[in-house]
Amino acid sequence: MERGISLERAITLVEMEKTELSLERVNIGKVFGRILGNGLESKVDDPRFDNSAMDGWAVRKEDCSLAEKTSLEIVGTSQAGSSITPTIGPGQACKIMTGAKIPVGANAIVMIEDSEMDGKNVIISGPARDSYIRHKGENLLKGKEALSIGNFMNAASISLAATMGHESIEVFRKPVIGIISTGDELVKPGSEIKDWEIYESNSFGIAALVQKMGGEPICYEVVTDSLDRLRESLNHAAKNCDAIITSGGVSMGDWDIVRKLMELEGEIIFWRVDMRPGGPPIFGKWNNIPIFGLPGNPVSSHVVFSMLVCPWFSASFGTSENQNPSLGKKVRVKMLDNVKGAKGKLCLRRIRITSGQNGLVATTHTHQGSGNIKSMTAHNGLTLLPPGDNASIGEIIDAFWFS
Ligand code: AMP
Ligand code: MG
């Protein structure tokens, strides 16, 4: 077991415990947010045939001079979805709609705005451009890969998969994450609350973070501070999940049962990371399943998830940093407030990042305590202040910007 390690070292150890994810076939109407499990080849050329990028007239460029207006004989219409391809000869034009096939003999398009009707003729008063023709296969070639393995299926990728003719695609199965909150003081939001109790909140936030990272959360019943209850819950979760996340009970207190049970019966890979907030996380295995023991303070659990659990998802999906799914990205910001760092620890103060005139700027608001979850809603980023560093007004520092 390693103890009191840097965040970089902790991430390396977490990534080594990535999970293997099998593939499943999902209809493209339901793949938003999923990760592509195989490279995807196009079933068709795109465009499928030479077609017009404009509503206008298909013409022969050599018939149209810019110096004077040209009168061309209208020979028909080319319409998107029509199986007929008209033909034009010298001195002739064919009306054409966006996306319609280019008539045989035509090599340029005149925009409808640059024309005027004159009985059976059309008077051309603007340029005839070949650049208004979209050529067969210029975007996609049949049989060629256009989306690669590990691609995050966002709106554009879904449209592209459909353009390529795929009704369903193979994506990585969602990792199933068991979430267990611990603490005698916790009660469900909405239930009656006694003077010494608080509403349990971490499992809900963590479940949302899991979903954002492309996982499937299962929230188990809150476990009271009892080793037997925790053991039972962990054994159950380990049978059904790819990883387990607990909240609370990882510090030095007498009732810190996650740490105690892990010491007695689990496999601890590391305990404590040199970061603030979120110093006491524990990582290891329970019945051979990775287990993240997050601190109970609500801000700490969010921050540790963002810094430590996210890399486990990325490693399991085979996606790299700054690729989706992610909770945000590393940026450089100019501080508009002073921020105090932490001796010997990476300091993750909550900051609000906005765009300034010369790049991103950051301010701080609200109390920064790790029990104050409101500080996470009042801010949208974290400082990444190296151990011992403070940041003064005007300084440019590394930060994490939540998306
Ligand atoms: P612990 O890590 O168990 O010592 O808890 C640290 C602090 O976080 C205590 O004030 C707890 O009451 C609080 N806390 C622990 N778990 C949760 C939870 N699931 N939801 C909200 N607050 C919690
Ligand atoms: Mg506790």
- Choosing from 219, 247, 254 the residue with most ligand 1 atoms within 8 A of its CB, the one to mutate for a pocket test is 247
Alpha helix positions (H), 190-271: 202-212, 227-240, 257-265
CA of 317 to the centre of ligand 2 (A): 32
Q: Are 248 and 296 in contact (CB under 8 A)?
A: yes
Q: Which ligand is nearest to the CA of 293?
A: 1
Q: Which two tokens stand for residue 24?
A: 């499943």
Does the structure show a pLDDT above 90 at 322?
A: no
Q: d(Cα 191, Cα 14) in Å, to the nearest integer?
A: 36
247 within 8 A of 206, measured Cβ to Cβ:
yes
pLDDT of residue 206: 98
CB 64 within 8 A of CB 108: yes
Closest CA to 272 of 286, 288, 287, 284: 284
Amino acid at 258: V
Residue with tokens 């090599």: 107
Residue 65 has pLDDT above 90, yes or no: no
Using CA atoms, how far apart are residues 315 and 56, in angstroms rounded to an integer? 51
Q: Output the ligand 1 site: residues, CB below 6 A.
A: 181, 183, 185-186, 198, 200-203, 247-249, 251, 253, 295-298, 371
- 3-class SS of residue 185: coil
Hey, whose CA ends up nearest to atom 3 of ligand 1? 248
* Average pLDDT taken over every residue of the chain: 96
Buried/exposed code over 11-21 (b: 16+ C-beta within 10 A; e: otherwise)? bebbeebbbeb
pLDDT tens, position by position, 170-224: 999 999 999 999 999 999 999 999 999 999 999 999 999 999 999 999 999 999 9
% of the chain beyond a pLDDT of 90: 94
The answer to whether 160 and 46 have CB atoms below 8 angstroms apart is no
- The answer to whether 14 touches 308, Cβ cutoff 8 Å, is yes
pLDDT tens per residue across span 112-142: 999 999 999 999 999 999 999 999 999 999 9
pTM, two decimals, is: 0.91
